[in-house]
């Protein structure tokens, strides 16, 4: 398969959106909102949940198991929808997520919650990828990017609403007869039911061309062997040690699994979960390569930004969420601009490259912020980041859609979400490793420099100040040995004693932004190699 024109998708052959398209899109957005809101709500309520279930040391697995099952299932849902139809597979995904949510809310022990989150993740894998696939089925290409911008805004809204809802439920003893934190999961029930009602009632699509084709079971099995060890190593490597035997063994198993997966996909041909023929198209390969790198850069920034806002600047989770509103606005506005431009000219290369450049600029801008920098600068940088995301990710999706055959549209669209999740997982792991790997040295140097500061010296030598528990923790860890897994003590620390730590954390966070910017530069270079599209032609 070369870079020749592809047959248009079903929706591109019609004069306008399919009947009830806007209502169907609301159903899809509800499904996406389920997945993105769930992560932010649970993250905020997690401390209360683990206290109630007596499982603080197991809380990392609540996130890890969700991530593993969602990433693995993402690749599967796309191919299942190609073979068995979009509607039943989407309803299956929402139903599984709904069941996992109910089970999570009913959990009485930590292992039950972890198992329930695994079920949720299996459902979540289809909520994102199938939403974009169904959008391509019901909305013509000229209008598609505009709606994709609203899809992107769902993430921003959940980032703002999630901390508010999660904190509200976590702070309630009971609500409607159940412990407050359980509603962090039960809230998914009415949203899921509404999404299923809309899609089940209104979505009607032709029978898939590949109906009856057998599922690539061997491909799924080898994908699990590849991704599960790699994701566990990426999530737990910092705690275990990147050079530890456990981490290296998991990486080795993952590499073997990758080889087996590629062999299985070659053997399965067009029935594969991720047909290798898709990669013969330069646009598909380069765009998804940029997708991975951009995912690393963007989610690297979003991993440490809450630390800066909540720990260094002292904002509440709700206030920190509101600081992401400019990013949401940027995503929506840029999508409104990029959509008509790409529809009119067909030139998605320049739009993608511009978006990645803007994200790199935003990373550089964030790297210049200090602990006393005006929050308007952080807001301005997140606005630029949002504009870049709206330009690049929305149009990457259009590029993939335009270069995928209709019978493989589900697999191609799932690849977009799949590779973005791989990039975001790797980015979060890499950049947290950068942060925690550098912050200790910054702490030691910052406290050494503070020794010559009269205000710090006065506080450190005042027995009434130095004897306070929070201040003792800081002074004992001034050599860089401070444990940052729990920073709640900072709320009770003297500002003069805490300032060197906050300066050190800011410096480490700035380094993460710089590294993120370097990754995004690689994304720019990849996007420049995407074949230029002539007006009204496919690549």
Question: b/e map of 85-98 (b: 16 or more CB within 10 Å)?
Answer: bbbebbbbbbebbb
What tokens does 314 get? Answer: 């002292």
Other beta carbons within 10 angstroms of residue 259's beta carbon come to 12
Contact 335, 394 (CB under 8 A): yes
Ordered per-residue pLDDT tens for the chain, 539 residues: 333 333 333 444 344 556 577 788 888 888 888 888 877 788 777 767 877 887 655 666 787 788 888 888 887 887 788 777 888 999 999 999 999 999 999 998 888 998 999 999 999 888 888 888 888 778 776 666 667 767 767 776 776 777 778 778 877 777 787 888 898 899 899 999 999 999 988 888 776 665 555 677 888 889 888 888 887 887 777 777 778 888 899 999 999 999 999 999 888 887 788 888 888 888 888 998 998 988 888 877 877 888 888 888 888 777 777 787 888 788 878 877 887 787 777 788 888 999 999 999 999 999 998 888 888 999 999 999 989 988 888 788 878 877 777 777 777 877 888 888 888 878 777 887 888 888 888 988 999 888 888 888 888 888 888 888 888 888 888 887 787 766 778 888 888 998 999 999 999 999 999 999 988 999 999 988 888 755 444 44
Q: Which of 524, 134, 135 is nearest to 363 (CA)?
A: 524
What tokens does 371 get? Answer: 């602990």
Q: What is the pLDDT of residue 508?
A: 92
Q: Which of 122, 147, 152 is nearest to 36 (CA)?
A: 152
From residue 477, give the alpha-carbon distance in Å to each of 151, 381, 458, 463.
45, 33, 18, 18
Domain ranges in the chain? 19-213, 217-272, 439-512
Q: Give SS3 for 375.
A: helix
Q: What is the pLDDT of residue 418?
A: 84
Q: Which of 367, 486, 384, 479 is nearest to 434 (CA)?
A: 367
CA 454 and chain centroid, separation: 44
Contact 526, 293 (CB under 8 A): yes
Q: What is the pLDDT of residue 58?
A: 66
Contact 220, 119 (CB under 8 A): no
User: Whole-angstrom Cα distance, residue 35 to residue 128?
Assistant: 8
User: Whole-angstrom Cα distance, residue 302 to residue 314?
Assistant: 17
Q: What is the pLDDT of residue 355?
A: 92
Fold of 19-213: Growth Hormone; Chain: A; (1.20.1250)
- Alpha helices by DSSP H, listed for 307-408, are 317-322, 325-345, 348-367, 375-402
Q: Give SS3 for 175.
A: strand
The number of residues in the chain equals 539
Residues contacting 431, CB < 8 A, separation 6+: 300, 301, 303, 304, 512, 515, 516
């Amino acid at each position: 398969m070369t870079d020749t024109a592809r047959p248009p998708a079903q929706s591109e052959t019609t004069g306008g959106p399919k009947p009830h398209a806007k209502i169907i899109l609301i159903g899809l957005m509800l499904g996406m909102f389920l997945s993105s809101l769930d992560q932010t709500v649970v993250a905020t309520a997690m401390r209360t949940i683990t206290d109630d279930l007596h499982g603080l040391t197991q809380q990392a697995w609540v996130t890890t198991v969700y991530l593993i099952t969602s990433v693995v299932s993402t690749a599967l849902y796309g191919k299942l929808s190609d073979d068995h139809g979009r509607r039943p597979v989407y309803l299956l995904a929402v139903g599984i997520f709904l069941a996992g949510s109910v089970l999570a809310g009913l959990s009485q022990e930590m292992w039950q919650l972890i198992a329930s989150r695994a079920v949720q993740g299996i459902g979540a894998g289809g909520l994102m990828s199938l939403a974009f696939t169904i959008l391509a089925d019901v909305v013509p290409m000229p209008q598609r990017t505009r709606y994709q911008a609203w899809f992107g805004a769902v993430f921003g809204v959940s980032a703002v609403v999630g901390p508010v809802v999660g904190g509200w439920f976590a702070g309630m003893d009971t609500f409607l007869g159940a412990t407050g934190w359980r509603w962090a999961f039960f809230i998914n029930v009415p949203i899921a039911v509404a999404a299923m009602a809309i899609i089940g009632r209104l979505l009607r699509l032709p029978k898939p061309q590949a109906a009856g084709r057998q599922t690539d079971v061997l491909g799924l099995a080898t994908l699990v062997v590849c991704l599960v060890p790699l994701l566990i190593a990426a999530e737990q490597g910092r705690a275990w040690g990147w050079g530890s035997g456990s981490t290296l063994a998991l990486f080795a198993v993952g590499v073997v699994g990758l080889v087996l997966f590629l062999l299985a996909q070659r053997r399965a041909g067009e029935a594969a979960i991720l047909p290798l023929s898709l990669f013969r198209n330069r646009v598909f390969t380069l765009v998804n390569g940029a997708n991975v790198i951009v995912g690393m850069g963007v989610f690297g920034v979003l991993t440490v930004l809450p630390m800066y806002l909540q720990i260094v600047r002292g904002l509440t989770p709700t206030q920190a969420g509101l600081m992401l509103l400019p990013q949401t606005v940027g995503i929506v506005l840029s999508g409104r601009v990029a959509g008509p431009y790409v529809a009119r000219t067909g030139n998605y290369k320049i739009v993608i490259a511009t978006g990645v450049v803007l994200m790199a600029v935003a990373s550089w801008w964030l790297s210049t912020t200090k602990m006393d920098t005006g929050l308007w600068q952080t807001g301005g940088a997140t606005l630029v980041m949002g504009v870049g995301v709206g330009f690049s990710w929305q149009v990457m999706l259009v590029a993939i859609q335009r270069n995928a055959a209709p019978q493989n549209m589900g697999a191609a669209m799932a690849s977009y979400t799949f590779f973005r999740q791989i990039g975001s997982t790797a980015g979060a792991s890499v950049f947290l490793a950068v942060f925690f790997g550098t912050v200790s040295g910054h702490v030691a140097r910052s406290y050494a420099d503070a020794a010559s500061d009269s205000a710090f010296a006065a506080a450190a030598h005042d027995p009434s100040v130095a004897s306070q528990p929070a201040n003792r923790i800081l002074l004992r860890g001034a050599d860089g040995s401070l444990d940052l897994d729990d920073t709640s003590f900072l709320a009770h620390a003297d500002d003069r004693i805490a300032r060197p730590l906050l300066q050190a954390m800011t410096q480490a966070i700035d380094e993460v932004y710089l590294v993120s910017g370097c990754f995004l530069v690689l994304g720019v270079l990849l996007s420049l190699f995407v074949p230029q599209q002539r007006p009204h032609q496919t690549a």
